[in-house]
Amino acid sequence: MLVRSDILTAADGEPVAVENPEGKGTALIICEHASRRLPARAGDLGLGAAALQSHIAWDPGALALARLLSKALGATLVYQRFSRLIYDCNRPPESIDAMPATSEIYRIPGNESLSTAERYARTAALYVPFHDRISQIIAERATRGQDTVVVTIHSFTPVYRGKARAVEVGILHDSDSRLADVMLARADEETAFLTLRNEPYGPADGVTHTLQLHALPQGLQNVMIEVRNDLIADETGLGVMAGFLTGLLQDCSAALQ
Ligand SMILES: [Zn+2]
């Protein structure tokens, strides 16, 4: 039987990071794909350097953007410190995408023949602490009377399987579209970015897992934001995008209070 310590060693550090824990803002910002770091024991999963640095390992720019939003909104930020290649925290343990054997055009040899014990150990080491921590934070906020708006921050690749994507910002939702509806209506009035509903993915692709776990059961306002990663590849782009999203989130969540 493998255990959590078979996946993460003391030198790897904790799987979950929390920044601005005392933030007074209503937004709770979550970044599941913040990092391309792999635990030391995972090696390179059989991947080359290009794959390990690409969007299959992480969401480039997402953590930097999430930090800017956390600062601007006075929001607590929670993120996963390890790559989605070892465990994708926006997927439940039973999903084949939680520990994918392929991603876009890449094979991931280190994920191809995982035993049940290995799957359990990865789930225990990375997924469980991440979502437990978010649950705990939301419960503590409720206890002290602080509202929570769940906001997950992601980025997507401009070219997927050789096809260019025109969408620049995706506003994604599951069955509760309250916040997304207001944000999309407001974004339509601006010309800043091509902002579309449930693009380049939607709930049918299984991407709303975090919202399903933490927002929907408690009726918390929520949204998943996907930004095309070429728009947040440098400081200038990050600043412009953070400004756009800060205004959108502030105005729209306030409108629903
Ligand atoms: Zn993502």
In a domain, 37, yes or no: yes
> Which pLDDT score is estimated for 252?
83
Pairing state between β 163-164 and 27-31: unpaired
Q: Is the peptide bond before 93 cis (omega within 30 degrees of 0)?
A: no
- Residue 130 belongs to domain spanning: 4-252
In a domain, 90, yes or no: yes
Instruction: Read off the pLDDT of residues 196-229 as tens digits, 9 standing for 90 and up.
Output: 999 999 999 999 999 999 999 999 999 999 999 9
Cα of 154 vs centre of ligand 1, distance in Å, is: 4
Q: Do residues 26 and 33 touch, judged by C-beta distance below 8 A?
A: no
Measured CA distances, 40 to 9, 36, 123 (Å) = 8, 12, 17
Per the structure, the count of domains in the chain is: 1
Cα of 67 vs centre of ligand 1, distance in Å, is: 15
Cα of 187 vs centre of ligand 1, distance in Å, is: 21
* CA 178-28-245 angle, 5° bins: 65
User: What is the rounded distance in angstroms from the CA atom of residue 145 to the CA atom of residue 137?
Assistant: 12
Cα of 2 vs centre of ligand 1, distance in Å, is: 28
Pairing state between β 195-197 and 16-19: unpaired
Q: Check whether 117 has a pLDDT greater than 90.
A: yes
CATH code of the domain in which 11 resides? 3.40.630.40
Instruction: Read off the pLDDT of residues 7-63 as tens digits, 9 standing for 90 and up.
Output: 999 999 999 999 999 999 999 999 999 999 999 999 999 999 999 999 999 999 999
pTM of the model: 0.96
> Which pLDDT score is estimated for 4?
76
In a domain, 257, yes or no: no
In a domain, 189, yes or no: yes
Cα of 91 vs centre of ligand 1, distance in Å, is: 11
- Mean pLDDT throughout 73-88? 98
> Which pLDDT score is estimated for 72?
97
Token output for 255: 């409108």
DSSP helix, strand, coil percent of the chain (3-state; round to 5):
40, 15, 40
Q: Check whether 2 has a pLDDT greater than 80.
A: no
In a domain, 73, yes or no: yes
Burial class for 43, CB neighbours closer than 10 Å (0-12, 13-18, 19+): exposed
Write phi, then psi, for 6 (nearest 5 degrees).
Answer: -75, -15
Q: Is 81 left (phi over 0), alpha (psi -120 to 50) or beta?
A: alpha
Cα of 84 vs centre of ligand 1, distance in Å, is: 9
Q: Check whether 6 has a pLDDT greater than 90.
A: no
Cα of 107 vs centre of ligand 1, distance in Å, is: 19
In a domain, 206, yes or no: yes
> Which pLDDT score is estimated for 239?
98
> Which pLDDT score is estimated for 104?
86
Token output for 30: 């979550």
Cα of 17 vs centre of ligand 1, distance in Å, is: 17
In a domain, 236, yes or no: yes
Instruction: Read off the pLDDT of residues 124-159 as tens digits, 9 standing for 90 and up.
Output: 999 999 999 999 999 999 999 999 999 999 999 999
pLDDT band per the 50, 70, 90 thresholds, residue 5: confident
